[in-house]
Amino acid sequence: MSVTVRIDVGTTGTKTVLFDPSRGIVAQASRETTLLSPAPGFAEADTAQWLTNVIDSIREALSLANAGAGDIDAIAVSGMVPAVVPVDGRGNPLRKAILQNDARAHHEIGQLAAALADVDLVSLTGSALTQQSVAPTVVWLAHHEPDVYAKTEHLVGSYDWVLSALGADIHVEHNWALESGLFTIDGGLADAVLRAADLDADLLPPVRHPGNQVGVLSPEAADWTGLRAGTALIVGGADHVLSAYAAGVNDPGDALVKLGGAGDILVASDAKVTDERLYLDAHPVPGRWLPNGCMATSGSLIRWFQALVGGDELAALDAEAARCAPGEVLCLPYFLGEKTPINDPDLRGVFAGMHLGHTRADLYRSVLEAIAFGFRHHVDVFADISIPLTKTMITNGG
């Protein structure tokens, strides 16, 4: 058996698959992740839970496949982007991870926008200054958690940190760098942004590309996972980018709707499409690009509502909602502010138009409708800049 372990660290869960090139997926296991929101607009995750989920799901997948440590050739990790994990010199997290849909740094966004008023950020970095940008989050840390900031040696992403916890060198992946707003489209440092944020370039580790080997599994991590020390550790990449690639989004006009904790829509393009209402990622195929949008909530809003009404199975809620008339209740899905195409972290979620005859089914249907119209909003943006969607795939089970 020649198998790779492939791990994805998402907003609402961690999934591990064992992949054999001749047989495809031979086993898979997953664990849910708790989305933490200790204050309005905050979105965090416990890195210790990430690591526990990785370990447990690896062990379960190995057991399901009846595979041993000697069967595994390599471990690759992908994940949400651009989460921010401040770490010390040993790679130990100094606080909980701040996720890409976090909206705490709205004041810092305004401050940086004023300082960078003369800089064309979209042309420089590929995206506007938004709640997803890393610079405002770093400025927030410096102002509100100075002890954490003073101890920070590096800033890394979700999957970058998991790889380092398993034994890899500290690094950030290419599309984390691109989406962070701290690097230029061409891969250099965005010096104007670093100066405005008073951010030391030494906080940014080396950039590595998907497929690069960044180390080997440490003896300690081998004990945790049941795998062999020395197993190659490989950069995976941004989850939405790899989802698009795996779904066949390769030719210009191919599109992916990805229904994860957030909601992503990506379109393949031969051009570096820059627009303040969108983000820009690099396609795994050199010379190709993925202009894309990301709603702050999608699956995370559904999970929140599911827990709010008692935790019933989603299939039961779906069946109830199917019996409701459309448009009975209006939901605005901005429960963590909104990223693209509105770019307003101060927005909040709304249920409107309710009366005493409405039920949880009407509310749940309005949540589904809100997410659907959020994607439609992005389709309109792509049409506005003459990017056709000729073929669309949908992934992640939504």
Confidence of residue 302 (pLDDT cuts 50, 70, 90): very high
Beta bridge partners of 15: 8, 30
pLDDT of residue 292: 96
The mean per-residue pLDDT over the stretch 220-238 comes to 98
Confidence of residue 93 (pLDDT cuts 50, 70, 90): very high
pLDDT of residue 381: 98
Residue 164 makes CB contacts below 8 A (sequence gap 6+) with: 87, 91, 156, 170, 171, 215
Q: What percent of the chain has pLDDT over 90?
A: 95
Cα angle: 300, vertex 225, 64; to 5 degrees: 75
CATH topology assigned to domain 248-398: Nucleotidyltransferase; domain 5 (3.30.420)
pLDDT(216) > 80:
yes
The overall longest dimension of the chain from CA atoms, in Å, is: 62
Confidence of residue 51 (pLDDT cuts 50, 70, 90): very high
pLDDT tens digits, one per residue of 304-319: 999 999 988 999 999 9
pLDDT tens digits, one per residue of 67-84: 999 999 999 999 999 999
Q: Where are the domains of the chain?
A: 3-240, 248-398
3-state secondary structure the chain: CCEEEEEEECCCEEEEEEEECCCEEEEEEEEECCCECCCCCCCEECHHHHHHHHHHHHHHHHHHHCCCHHHEEEEEEEECCCCEEEECCCCCECCCEECCCCCCCHHHHHHHHHHCCCCCHHHHHCCCCCCCCHHHHHHHHHHHCHHHHHHCCEEECHHHHHHHHHCECCCEEHHHHHHHCCECCCCCECHHHHHHHCCCHHHCCCEECCCCEEEECCHHHHHHHCCCCCCEEEEEEEHHHHHHHHCCCCCCCEEEEEECCCEEEEECECCCCCCCCCEEEECCCCCCEEEEEEECCCHHHHHHHHHHCCCCCHHHHHHHHHCCCCCCCEEECCECEECCCCCECCCCCEEECCCCCCCHHHHHHHHHHHHHHHHHHHHHHHHHCCCCCCEEEEECCC
Mean pLDDT value across the chain: 96
The mean per-residue pLDDT over the stretch 163-184 comes to 98
Q: Matching CATH topology for 3-240 and 248-398?
A: yes
pLDDT(374) > 90:
yes
Confidence of residue 111 (pLDDT cuts 50, 70, 90): very high
The mean per-residue pLDDT over the stretch 242-252 comes to 95
pLDDT of residue 2: 81
pLDDT(398) > 80:
no
Question: For residue 393, how many C-alpha atoms fall within 13 Å in the half-sphere facing its CB?
Answer: 19
CA distance 1 to 385: 48
pLDDT tens digits, one per residue of 128-158: 999 999 999 999 999 999 999 999 999 999 9
CA distance 293 to 132: 11
pLDDT of residue 1: 62
The mean per-residue pLDDT over the stretch 87-99 comes to 98
Confidence of residue 278 (pLDDT cuts 50, 70, 90): very high
pTM listed for this prediction: 0.89
Label residues 165-201 b or e (16+ Cβ within 10 Å = b).
bbbbebbbbbbbbbbbbbbbbeeeebebbbebbebee
Query: What distance, in Å, lies between the first and last C-alpha atoms of the chain?
Result: 33
Q: Which CATH architecture has domain 3-240?
A: 2-Layer Sandwich (3.30)
pLDDT(345) > 90:
no
pLDDT of residue 32: 95
Structural contact between residues 266 and 258, judged by C-beta atoms closer than 8 angstroms: yes
pLDDT of residue 218: 99
